Amino acid sequence: MTNGTGRFAGKVAVVAGGASGIGLAILRGLHREGARVVCGDISQERLDGIAGEFDERVACTRVDVTREAEVEALMALAVERFDALDCAFNVAGASRPGYIVDLAESDWDFTVDLCLKGVFLGMKHAARHMLGRGGAIVNIASLNAHVPMHAGAAYASAKAGVEMLTRNGALEMTPDGVRVNAVLPGLVETPLTRRHFENRAALDAFLARIPAGRAAQPEDIAAPALFLASEEARYVSGASLLVDGGWAVTGYPDMRPFRGRPGWPKPNAGADP
């Protein structure tokens, strides 16, 4: 990412899921561009690891974005510490994959609650501090909002929900000065996608579908996210910005060779004893 331009000087931001990957890249970009930032993350270890990187313009706090009281407190902390809340980035996400016939209800709930409910709560409580005074909300969805993947039904469904939630938020909030937009990343090299990069054959299958010829780095996603929150995007609301190196035009690779076969039906299921 380029050197700071001061686009966010005097602004206050919250980054939910800000201690690693895309969220950390957004946090660094905001800080470099003059913002005061509250970073929330579920991992105290990650928060402790980044605390020394920033000055007093960054406050770090632990938050579980699936718990409403904690998200409400996260947004309130920005106002208490820095007297305002101008932009919020809902980044936290993860997946417990599985074929539909194998997927445990608890794994569906984990993925959908984190990826969709967490964004809903972030939007709700950020907007309560912005309505009538203005602000910007940026949600991190995924290419999988548009493109399904094997063993990814919960994640793709949740991210598709994030895209529609973003549009609905724009419909409701833009008249009161709050812009709501989404970024839809493709393959990004982060701790959560490490397994793809450790499996050369799987990585090659991805890269064969990405016209740009490489995976994104977190900074490649942070830059468009910051644009959408900035004054440069003042007339943009309800948008879904694909940031995928052109991947959406080619389709998703067949991941079954790397996931294995579904576990259901069980071997010999229904056979006579």
Q: Which pLDDT tens digit goes with each residue over 233-270?
A: 999 999 999 999 999 999 888 888 888 889 998 776 55
Q: Which domain holds residue 143?
A: 12-244
What predicted TM-score, i.e. pTM, was given to this entire model?
A: 0.94
CATH classification of the domain holding 79: 3.40.50.720
Residues 248 and 30: their CA atoms lie apart, in Å, by 28
Distance CA 236, CA 116 (A): 22
For 201-242, what is each residue's pLDDT tens digit? Answer: 989 999 999 999 999 999 999 999 999 999 999 999 999 999
Question: Within 10 A of 43 (CB to CB), how many other CB atoms are there?
Answer: 12
Q: Quote the number of domains for the chain.
A: 1
Residue 155 is a catalytic residue: yes
Q: What Å distances lie between residue 187 and 1, 173, 244, 261, CA to CA? A: 18, 30, 7, 23
Residue 264 in any domain: the answer is: no
Provide the mean pLDDT of the chain: 95
Exactly one of 99, 155, 235, 252 is catalytic; name it. Answer: 155
Q: Is residue 4 part of a domain?
A: no
Is residue 267, in this structure, part of any structural domain at all? no
- Structural domain includes residue 265: no
In a domain, 76, yes or no: yes
Q: Is residue 255 part of a domain?
A: no
- Within a domain: residue 1? no
Residue 50 lies in a domain: yes
Q: Which amino acid does the sequence have at 206?
A: F
